[in-house]
Chains A and B, each alone.
Chain A
C-alpha cells in the first residue's frame, strides 16, 4: 500500500485492484464498472455504501453517462457539474471516499473524479434539552453542519457573515467552520482564533468541549472561557454582538468567543421579558452566585469562629442542633456536599424515569434520616440545600459546575482561618478573574478593567432606550 501514496495507477484494472486492496476490510465498499454510451469506454465507480446517496449517484451520474451522453464533451461537462474535485493523488481520493464521495474513474485518464454524493444521517431539529428557556427559540443545533449554518442564517436574516471552513490537526482531519460578522468582530480576535485553530496538534477532536480546551487562554482555570451553546438564538445574538462562532459538523454545540465572566450569567430569556423582571432575575442570579460560593463557608466560619454574629435567638437553636453532631462542621459540610454532588451526578446518568427515585432517596436519606441519626445538623441541611438551589439557578452549566467546585476550597479556608480565610480566598478569586483573558480580551470586563458606563447594562437590564416618537404625519 505504501507505493500507492503518490501517483494514481493507470488503467482500469490496476485501479480496480488497488481500490479493492485498499478497502479490503470495509463491508460496504461497492465497486462497479460500466461503459460509456458514446464510445464504449469502460468507467469504474466506487463508493462506500452507507455514506453515499446511491439513488442520486445512479440518477444523476451513471444513467446519463451510460444512456444519454453522446460525446466526450458532454461526459466531461456532466462530471464537472457534480464533482467534488478532480484528483490525481491517491491520498486525496481515499480521504474523499471516506468522507462520503463516490469515485469515478475512466480508463486511460490521469485523473479521477470525486462526485459529491454524500448523504449523512441528518438528525431532526429538536428543542435544546440542556438549555431550556421560557421564551427563546424552540429549535436547537443538530449534529449536521449545513443544518446548523442554516439555523444561524435563519436567526440572522440578511446578515452577510464570513463563513470559513478550516481543516486542521495532523492530516487535516479536524474540520471547523468559523462564522462571524466582519464589521462587528475584532480582527485581532479572528486572527488569534484562526492561529490557535491552525496550531491544534491533537489528531482528532470529538466534541466542542474538547476543541474549546485546545483553544482557551488559561487551561488551568476553573472557569469556562468560551460559551458552548446548543441554542441558535444564543449563537446568533453572540454573532450579532461581534463574537466569533465555531461549528463542528458532528457537534450540536457551537462555541462562542471571546466571552466575559458576567455574560455567563445572562440567559436568552433576558431579551424577551420585561426589563424590571429581568433586572430582578439577574440580581437574583448574582445573589445566587454569592450564596453558592460562600454560604457553606460563611456558616462554617460562623459556628467555628464568629459565634458573636449569630443573633441570640438563633444561637440557642443552632447550638442545640450542633450539640448532637459528633463531627466538626467542616466534615459535616463535606459529607453533605459530596452526597449532594453524587445525587446530582447520579440523576444525570440515570434515565429520566429512574432519575426521579434518586431525588426521593436523596431527599429522605439526607433530609431526614441523617438529621435524626445525628450525623448532620438541621442547619447544615438547610445550608446545603440553599447552596444547591443557588447553584442550580445559574443559566450556564459550565459556570455552575465551576461555582460548585469553588465552594470546597472556600470551606477549607473558612475552617482554617474563619472569615479571614474567606476574605483571603475571595481576594485570590477576584485577582484570578481580573487577570483572566478570553482570546486576549479581558475576561472580567466591565468590572475590571472598570468600565462604569457598562455596569448598568450588565448588572441590570434597562429598557431599550430612545423610543422614536412618531411624527404626526405617520399616525
Chain B
C-alpha cells in the first residue's frame, strides 16, 4: 500500500527502460541497462550502464551503485536477450525476479538480438528518438506489418509455462548505424534457442496464429500462360484458420484449412484480369500452400510449435495428449500436418 514511506519523487528516481541480458565470458550474466537521464544539461537523454553478476537482481544492485537516485523498474519497456545467452541457458529462470516483483512492468517487450547486447545498445545512431522508443516502435510497427511477433513479458511467461506451445520472440539486429527487425526467433520446449524465422516466414506464422492485422502482404512469383515468371503481390484482407485435430497410427493429425480473401496489389506478366481470375487464384493457392508447408516442415524439423497445435491436441484428444505432454515438441515433429489454402481474390485494384 502506498504511504508516506513509499513516496518516490520522479526527479529523484532512476528509471530503467531497457534491460539487456547477455552471457559474459566467465559464464556469468552480463546486464546492460538503459536509464533515463533527467539532467537538463546533459546532451543525451539516456545513460548506458553495464555490470556482470550472477543474477538479474544482483546486477540491478551493481547497476544502481553506479548512478544516484532510486532505481525503479516500473517503466521497463524492453528486455533484450542475446542469442548467445539463449543458446546456452533457459531465459525464464533469469527473469524470475521480474515476475516476482509486482512493481516491475510486465508489459515490457522481449526482444532477441543476434549480436552482443552491449554492442547493440551502444550503437551510435544517426538522429533517432531515445533507444527505448526506437526499439519499441520498431517492434510494434514490425508486428503491425507482419514481419515479427510481439511478445510481452507476460505473454512470454505463458508461452514458456504452457506445454502445448513453444515461445516465439521478435529478433532485431544492428544494420549499419540503424537497427532492423530481422524476423522471429523460436525457442524450443527446453526454453533454449531453436530456430530463426525470416520476415516472410514470420508473416505466415502470424497468419497461422491468427494474429495478423490486415492487410498482410505476401509476394511470390507465378507463371503466366507463356511460362514467363510473373511477380505478384497480395494483400491478405481476411483469413480464417480452421484446424481439425485427429489421431492416427500413433501420431497426431492436423488438417489445417486456410480460406484467404486477398487483393492483388501488384501483378506482372500477361494476365487478363477478369477471365484469368480462377487461374490466378489456383496459382496463388499453390504458392501459399507451398509456403505454409515449408514453414510447418521447418517447425517440425526444429521440434517447435510456436503456433500452439498442442492446445488443439489437448482439447480434442486428451488421452493421447497425456502420453506426449512432457515433450510436445517431439510429438509435433512426428505429427501429420496438412495445410490446404483457398484463395479468393476480391479485387485487382482500380485498374483493369
**Residues A322 and B11 in contact in the complex (CB < 8 Å), given A305-B2, A308-B105, A316-B36:** yes
Report B80 CB to chain A, min CB distance, Å: 16
**Interface size bucket, A side?**
20 to 34
Known: A323-B38, A417-B2. A308 touches B10 (CB 8 A): no
Q: For the complex, is A123 an interface residue (Cβ under 8 Å from B)?
A: no
Docked pose: A303 CA to B2 CA in angstroms: 13
Judging by beta carbons under 8 Å apart, are B9 and A328 in contact? yes
Enumerate A287-343 residues with CB–CB distance to B below 8 Å.
303-308, 310, 312-313, 315-316, 318-320, 322-325, 328-329
**Chain A: minimal CB distance from B24 (Å):** 29
User: From DSSP, what is the main secondary structure of chain A's interface residues?
Assistant: helix
How far apart sit A86 and B163, CA to CA, in the bound complex (Å)? 106
A-chain residues with CB within 8 Å of residue B77 when the two chains form the complex: 312
B39 and A323 within 8 A (CB) = yes
Kindly list chain A residues whose C-beta atoms are within 8 Å of the C-beta of B11.
Answer: 303, 319, 322-323, 325
Chain A, Cβ-Cβ closest to B42:
A320
CA distance A323 to B39 in the complex (A): 7
A380 proximal to B (CB < 8 A): no
* A307:B6 contact, CB within 8 angstroms: no
**Contacts A316-B45, A316-B130, A417-B2: A307 and B15 contacting too (C-beta < 8 A)?**
yes
With A308-B74, A323-B11, A325-B11: A419-B133 Cβ-Cβ less than 8 Å: no
Known pairs A307-B74, A315-B36; A420 contacts B2 (CB<8 A): yes
What residues of A have a CB within 8 angstroms of the CB of B167 in the complex? none
A96 contacts partner chain B, Cβ-Cβ < 8 Å: no
- Give A413-424 as 1s and 0s: 1 = Cβ < 8 Å from B's Cβ atoms: 001111110000
A303 touches B9 (CB 8 A): yes
Check if B319 is an interface residue, CB within 8 A of chain A: no
Kindly state the separation between the CA atoms of A420 and B4 in the bound complex, as whole angstroms: 11
Residue of A with least CB distance to B17: A312
B-side binding surface: helix, strand, loop or mixed?
loop
Q: Verify A308–B75 contact, CB threshold 8 A.
A: yes
A270 to chain B, nearest CB (A): 41
Are A307 and B75 in contact (CB-based, < 8 A)?
yes
Closest to A419 in B: B2
A41 to B2, CA, bound (A): 93
Q: Which residues of A have CB within 8 Å of B130?
A: 316
Are the C-beta atoms of B6 and A312 separated by less than 8 Å?
A: no
Indicate whether B349 reaches chain A with its CB closer than 8 angstroms: no
Q: Are B2 and A323 in contact (CB under 8 A)?
A: no
Nearest A-chain residue to B3, judged by Cβ: A417
Contact A420 B45 (CB under 8 A): no
Q: When chains A and B are docked, how far (Å) is the Cα of A21 from the Cα of B3?
A: 74
Residue-wise interface mask of B (1-34) relative to A, using a CB-CB cutoff of 8 A (1 in contact, 0 not):
1111011111101010100000000000000000
Question: Given B4, B40, B75, B132, which contacts A320 in the complex, CB threshold below 8 Å?
Answer: B40
Asked if B72 is at the interface (CB within 8 A of a chain A CB), the reply is yes
Per the bound structure, the CA–CA distance linking A419 and B1 in Å amounts to: 10
Asked if residues B9 and A304 are in contact (CB atoms below 8 Å), the reply is yes
Binding site for A on B (CB under 8 A): 1-4, 6-11, 13, 15, 17, 36, 38-40, 45, 72, 74-75, 77, 105, 130, 132-133, 136
